């Protein structure tokens, strides 16, 4: 695992009028790892993601990409760095097929016409790299796909466009057991292929199944960023609900997950 | 006095290395092979020519021209359609047979349901029937390198005798020999335990490619592990190693089919989950998946069962992590579904029982080859002989 974060945020503040939503937030994501972003409703997860993807500006704070300071002033800057967000609604067009969706707005041409064979081959290769076996024809309309398959297409689209950081907002919401399992495996494979992945989820099971690190927001503050091997389910739930975990050490602050707390483990 | 390896030995070694490389990694150019194998261009050229004349690989000019100047490097690809192995997998609930081409391509496959308790004498004809059917479709001029069989049971390494398959009720069944007579006397047959075979497949071309210390946990009714330590399969003296399902974890536990009490599989196996979910009459993979589904929909009894069994899974994995310090643990068979459904319990328990030094680099994964791992691994076993000595074996 790499020691330099792909993206690092330091001291991010964000207010909407009198309401301070993010307070001095530090956050780091590493290539090849899944960082789970957890927190109760209203803790600031979505706001943080929107700051990263350039939809919201920040009031204070610094951004570093591969150690270099960068500024993100809009979605275009974020996309330029290779940051892609897959939202819950997925933003796919039901009346287009899988290949058309994956290349939407960025179609390949050969001369005057679209280069369909190349696009189909690239789409197929991307899905194969992710070991996706659940999709039959690439030419079926997205409307005919199940929830899990749609999620797969939306994620594969991000991979096709060489994203380096993919942020997934509740990708398993509203999926059944079998499809959740497939999407979890896909999330894991993204990171195993070298991408940095941020997974927002309320389901502790999904978080523990695939994450390497868990970042917990509590009332707009980052109360802990720990390695998944260092915590138990009960401790993470405690962090989410009270912002602290006694068994994790002083106020749970854990230096971006780099320092290992001696007291963790054996407690439930 | 020991002299160095002969020219012939070096050549055989290099042929094997080259063939193994394209077999595992797929088609690649001579230039890439030169870099990957550390041999010079003319050696690679001579080796591919030998392999091509034996019909094991083919060479072609790449479709897309590279950007560099000069003649493009020829692409060497395995002759997947011409060179094949037969693969069989005898699982608790199903039988599978397949013809798998060099490069790990499934060319043809059959799947049969298996009534529980079917003995080897009745199993072999079923597999032989599937084999006959597939044989008819084999085009002329192909090279068969042998057969591999994955069995859920303990397999004696020297002759492939299935010593004990408690859930199938087999004791001392020569399934390998029975199928060999169907295949023809000159076809080499290798038999191995299904967990070992899956571990081998994932290590060769799946989730654990490039990892040298791997534990593949395979679960159905029972639980077994395929262990790879230091890049080698760890199967023990007679080939029976890796029976982690029979680690005794609970002195006051339930009796196990092996005759002991409180074995790990009595806490995490199919029966344990179904019993905890209050469905003692149900059995089979579908019934297990139904419990996970019920838990997801909010059935409190099923949720408790999944948590309890997940906790026990974490216990055993913690012990295995302490014993073998693997860099990856793969959850296969029904263990995949259990892990994904109860990861919070599994990891919480694992994190609290495993030593932090053993735990820090372990990655928990599900199989990349999915349910094909057993077949692909069985074929890999059959291909081993070819890869060790490509020109002699073919």
Query: Is residue B168 domain-shared with residue B262, that is, in the same domain?
Result: no
Asked if B331 has any chain A CB less than 8 Å from its own CB, the reply is no
Asked if B307 has any chain A CB less than 8 Å from its own CB, the reply is no
pLDDT in tens, B142-151: 888 999 999 8
Answer whether residue B2 shows pLDDT above 70.
Answer: no
State the nearest Cα–Cα gap between B33 and chain A, in angstroms.
21
Nearest neighbour of B343 by CB, restricted to A192, A209, A266: A209
Per the prediction, chain B carries an average pLDDT of: 88
Q: CB–CB of B86/B106 below 8 Å?
A: no
Task: Give the per-residue pLDDT at A256.
Answer: 40
Query: Is residue B360 domain-shared with residue B249, that is, in the same domain?
Result: yes
Q: Which domains can be identified in chain A, with CATH numbers? A: 1-82+164-268 (3.40.50.300), 91-162 (no CATH)
Residue B72 lies in a domain: yes
pLDDT in tens, A195-232: 999 999 989 999 999 999 999 999 999 999 999 999 99
Q: Which of A257, A215, A256 is nearest to A236 (CA)?
A: A215
DSSP type of residue B158: T
Query: Is residue B115 domain-shared with residue B244, that is, in the same domain?
Result: no
Residue B204 lies in a domain: no
- What strands, in cross-sheet order, belong to the sheet with B57-60? B28-29, B75-78, B57-60
Q: How far is CA B46 from the centre of its chain?
A: 33
State which residues form the domain around B266.
209-367
Q: Residue range B150-160: average pLDDT?
A: 83
Query: Is residue B110 domain-shared with residue B232, that is, in the same domain?
Result: no
Task: Give the per-residue pLDDT at A146.
Answer: 84
Task: Give the per-residue pLDDT at B168.
Answer: 66
Q: What ipTM describes this predicted complex?
A: 0.86
Query: Which of A205, A232, A268 to probe the B interface (max B CBs under 10 A)?
Result: A205
Q: Do A208 and B343 touch (CB under 8 A)?
A: yes
CA dist A196 and A163 (Å) reads 9
Task: Give the per-residue pLDDT at A254.
Answer: 42
Nearest neighbour of B351 by CB, restricted to A189, A210, A231: A231
Q: Do B340 and A180 touch (CB under 8 A)?
A: yes
State the nearest Cα–Cα gap between B69 and chain A, in angstroms.
24
pLDDT in tens, B245-304: 999 999 999 999 888 999 999 999 999 999 999 998 888 888 999 999 999 999 999 999
Q: Which of A189, A35, A168 is nearest to A90 (CA)?
A: A168
Asked if A178 has any chain B CB less than 8 Å from its own CB, the reply is yes
Q: Residue range B161-187: average pLDDT?
A: 76
Q: Do B352 and A206 touch (CB under 8 A)?
A: no
Residues of A with CB below 8 A from B370's CB?
131, 133
> What is the count of residue pairs from A and B with beta carbons less than 8 Å apart?
75
Residues of A with CB below 8 A from B292's CB?
177
State the nearest Cα–Cα gap between B332 and chain A, in angstroms.
13
Quote the number of domains for chain B.
3
Residue B1 lies in a domain: no
Asked if A237 has any chain B CB less than 8 Å from its own CB, the reply is no
Query: Is residue B349 domain-shared with residue B281, that is, in the same domain?
Result: yes
Query: Is residue B227 domain-shared with residue B363, that is, in the same domain?
Result: yes
State the nearest Cα–Cα gap between A234 and chain B, in angstroms.
8
CA dist B325 and B319 (Å) reads 10
Residue B227 lies in a domain: yes
Residue B73 lies in a domain: yes
Task: Give the per-residue pLDDT at A249.
Answer: 53
Query: Which of A229, A239, A248 to probe the B interface (max B CBs under 10 A)?
Result: A229
Query: Is residue B31 domain-shared with residue B179, that is, in the same domain?
Result: no
Answer whether residue B65 shows pLDDT above 70.
Answer: no
pLDDT in tens, A87-101: 876 678 888 888 888
Q: What is the pTM of this model?
A: 0.89
Task: Give the per-residue pLDDT at A255.
Answer: 40
Query: Is residue B65 domain-shared with residue B148, that is, in the same domain?
Result: no
Task: Give the per-residue pLDDT at B67.
Answer: 58
CA dist A69 and A78 (Å) reads 13
Nearest neighbour of A176 by CB, restricted to B207, B296, B366: B296
For the domain that residue B228 is a member of, what is the CATH number? 3.30.420.40
Domain final residue, candidates B48, B78, B108: B78
Residues of chain A short of pLDDT 50, as ranges, are: 1, 250-268
Q: Which of B61, B8, B14 is nearest to B38 (CA)?
A: B14
pLDDT in tens, B114-154: 777 677 777 888 888 888 888 888 888 888 899 999 988 88
DSSP type of residue B110: E
Nearest neighbour of B344 by CB, restricted to A185, A208, A230: A208
Which residue of chain A comes nearest to B350, CA vs CA?
A: A229
State the nearest Cα–Cα gap between B17 and chain A, in angstroms.
25
């Amino acid at each position: 695992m790499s020691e330099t974060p792909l993206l690092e945020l330091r001291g991010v503040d964000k207010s909407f009028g009198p309401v301070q939503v993010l307070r001095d937030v530090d956050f780091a994501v590493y290539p090849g790892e899944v960082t789970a972003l957890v927190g109760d409703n209203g803790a600031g997860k979505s706001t943080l993601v929107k700051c990263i993807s350039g939809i919201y500006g920040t009031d204070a704070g610094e951004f570093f990409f591969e150690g270099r300071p960068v500024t993100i002033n809009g979605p275009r800057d974020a996309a330029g760095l290779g940051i892609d967000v897959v939202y819950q609604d997925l933003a796919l067009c039901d009346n287009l097929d899988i290949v058309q969706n994956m290349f939407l707005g960025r179609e390949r041409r050969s001369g005057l016409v679209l280069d369909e064979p190349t696009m189909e081959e690239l789409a197929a290769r991307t899905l194969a790299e992710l070991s996706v076996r659940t999709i039959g024809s690439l030419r079926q309309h997205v409307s005919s796909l199940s929830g899990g398959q749609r999620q797969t297409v939306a994620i594969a689209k991000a991979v096709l466009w060489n994203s380096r950081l993919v942020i997934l907002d509740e990708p398993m919401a509203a999926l059944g057991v079998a499809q959740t399992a497939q999407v979890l495996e896909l999330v894991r494979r993204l990171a195993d292929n070298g991408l940095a992945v941020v997974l927002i989820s309320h389901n502790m099971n999904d978080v523990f199944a695939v994450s390497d690190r868990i970042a917990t927001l509590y009332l707009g503050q980052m109360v802990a960023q720990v390695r998944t091997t260092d915590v138990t389910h009960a401790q993470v739930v405690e962090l989410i609900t009270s912002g602290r975990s006694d068994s994790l050490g002083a106020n749970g602050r854990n230096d971006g997950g780099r320092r290992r707390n001696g007291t963790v483990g054996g407690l439930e | 006095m020991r002299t160095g390896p002969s020219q012939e030995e070096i050549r055989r070694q290099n042929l094997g290395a080259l063939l193994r490389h394209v077999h595992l990694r797929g088609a690649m150019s001579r230039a890439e092979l030169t870099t990957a194998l550390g041999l010079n261009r003319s050696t690679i050229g001579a080796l591919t020519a030998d392999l091509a004349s034996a019909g094991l690989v083919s060479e072609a000019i790449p479709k897309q021209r590279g950007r560099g100047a000069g003649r493009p490097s020829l692409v060497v690809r395995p002759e997947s359609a011409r060179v094949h192995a037969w693969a069989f997998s005898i699982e608790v609930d199903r039988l599978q047979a397949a013809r798998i081409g060099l490069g790990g391509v499934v060319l043809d496959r059959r799947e049969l349901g298996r009534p529980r308790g079917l003995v080897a004498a009745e199993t072999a004809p079923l597999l032989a029937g599937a084999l006959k059917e597939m044989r008819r479709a084999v085009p002329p001029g192909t090279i068969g390198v042998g057969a591999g069989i994955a069995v859920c049971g303990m397999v004696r390494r020297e002759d492939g005798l299935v010593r004990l398959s408690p859930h199938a009720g087999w004791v001392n069944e020569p399934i390998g020999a029975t199928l060999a007579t169907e295949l023809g006397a000159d076809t080499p047959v290798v038999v191995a335990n299904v967990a070992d075979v899956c571990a081998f497949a994932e290590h060769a071309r799946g989730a654990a490619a490039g990892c040298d210390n791997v534990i593949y946990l395979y679960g159905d009714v029972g639980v077994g592990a395929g262990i790879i330590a230091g890049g080698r399969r760890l199967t023990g003296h007679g080939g029976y190693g890796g029976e982690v399902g029979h680690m005794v974890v609970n002195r006051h536990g339930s009796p196990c089919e092996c005759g002991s009490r409180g074995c790990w599989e009595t806490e995490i196996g199919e029966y344990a989950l179904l019993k905890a979910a209050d469905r003692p009459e149900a059995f089979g993979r579908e019934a297990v998946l139904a419990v996970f589904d019920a838990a997801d929909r909010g059935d409190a009894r099923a949720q408790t069962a999944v948590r309890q069994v997940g906790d026990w899974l974490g216990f055993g994995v913690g012990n295995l992590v302490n014993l073998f310090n693997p860099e990856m643990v793969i959850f296969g068979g029904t263990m995949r579904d259990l892990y994904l459904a109860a990861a919070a319990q599994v990891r919480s328990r694992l994190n609290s029982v495993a030593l932090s030094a053993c735990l820090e680099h372990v990655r928990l994964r599900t199989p990349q080859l999915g349910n094909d791992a057993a077949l692909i691994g069985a074929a890999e076993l059959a291909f081993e002989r070819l890869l060790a000595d490509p020109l002699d074996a073919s």
